[in-house]
Structure formats: C-alpha cells, structure tokens
Amino acid sequence: MISMRIRPMVPAASLAVLLLLGCGGGEEKRETTRARPVAGAPAASGGYTIAAVSDGGSVTGSVKFEGTPPPAEKVEISKDPEVCGQEKILETVEVGAGGGLKGAVVWVDGISKGKDWGSIGGGTVDQKECHYSPYIQIVRAGDNLDILNSDPVLHNIHAYFKDTETLFNLAQPTKGMKTPKKLEKTGPVHLKCDVHSWMSAWVFVAGHPYYAVTGGDGSFSLGDVPAGTYKAHAWHPKYGEKTADVTVAAGGSATASFTMP
C-alpha cells in the first residue's frame, strides 16, 4: 500500500511574496566602490601593472601652434536662450602666449609597468548653461565618466569613439541628473549634444598613466618614466596626431616638441 502525504497549501498571498522575492523584487541594492589598484597588481585597463620605478626619468616639452592662430569661434544661440545665453565662444582651438596650443593630449607608448595612476581615474563632465565642462580630460580605461546635467532643459549626450562608433546615446531631461558611463576602449571619445549642436567635449581614455593635457602655454610634463626608448604622441581634437621618438635615460630627462597643424 502506498502512503501519500498531503502537504498544506500555501496561501495565495504568501505564494505571491515568495515569487516576488524569487524574481529579485526584494533584492537589497548596495553601492560598490571601485578599488584603486595596488603596487604589483594589473590595472583594470588591460595589463598595465603598478610597480616602483627606480631611477625614473621624465619627458617634457610643448605643443606649439604654427602660423597665425584662427579667430575665436563664436556661435549665436537660438535654442533655449533663457538657459544657454545669447552667444557661445567655442574651445576648439586655444592658442596662448608664445604660440602654445592648449588642450592637446600627450602620451608615450610602450609602457606596461610603472607608476601609480595618481590623479587619472574616473571623470565628470558637467552640462551647465549648455556648455560641456571640461572641454577635454583624461579618464582611465575601465573607469566611469559621470555625466551631470546642471541645466533645467533637456540635453541628449551622444558619445562617439574616434568620431565614428556610437558608444552611448543618453537623454537627460531633468536638472540634477547624473549618469555614470563606463569607458573601456582606449582613445578619443567625442561628446556631442543632439539638442544643442554647438556643445562639444572630448574624453581621452588612457591605458596607462603616462598621459597629460597641455596647459595654456602648450607645455606638458610626464614624470617617473622608466628608462627606455619610446614613441611620444601629441593629439589635438582638430589637428590630429603627431609623433616623436624619445630616449629616457635612468634619472634623466628627454624633450619632445610638436608643432600643429
């Protein structure tokens, strides 16, 4: 004779709660903090390892504008003037005293092991008065770019990798919205606004910390460079890329100078 055990029925309300929990409806949300890499550990950007640099050298120099600087590029505003203002002066080309070209990205190739990332990590771009700030910055590969809307109008951020491939297309209709976007491919990312066509900014995604953005005088400095021979690069959003060979002696200094366009 086969005995049968009759299990009590689960009340419908309790069953609904169980199903909801099983589908994740009651999952607790936790904020996570991205850990900074420690010495000897590979970086999240794909193979770069942080290690002590003994007798490191430096690469210094400048990026100069050759010729007569173009006049400031001005745009008359017709969209949302109550927030955006009447006119914008674009940061496409900024030439300082002595012909220094501001906003060029300089880096050296061929370094897979070396100094800590220092100030290079995640970044923030703010949309305020229909203008991106900063115009150009460096972000570590694998980190987030936080996109902030400080305006009470709709912005639609369209990010292009190397000006060809869409990385994301993000609408932010409300003031105070902040959205993180992870950037993993190394190279230039162009931010545009599909609502306000003049808005433009650049994020250069770096695979190692030997990157810098030129200041108002066009100068740059890269420290703690391991001894060796490298290819130095200078890239500008409008004028493209130039290269130079540099040899860094232990504890020494090498110079790389670039002219554009």
**CATH number for position 138:** 2.60.40.420
65 and 94 assigned to the same domain: yes
Q: What is the pLDDT of residues 136-162, one digit of tens each?
A: 999 999 999 999 999 999 999 999 999
Long-range CB contact pairs, 164-173, < 8 A, 24+: 169/194, 172/127, 172/147
Predicted TM-score of the model (pTM): 0.82
253 and 144 assigned to the same domain: no
Domains contained in the chain, number? 2
Q: What is the pLDDT of residues 71-114, one digit of tens each?
A: 999 999 999 999 999 999 999 999 998 999 999 999 999 899 99
User: Contact, 72 vs 87, CB < 8 A?
Assistant: no
User: Residue 250 is part of which domain span?
Assistant: 53-115+210-261
User: Within a domain: residue 17?
Assistant: no
259 and 180 assigned to the same domain: no
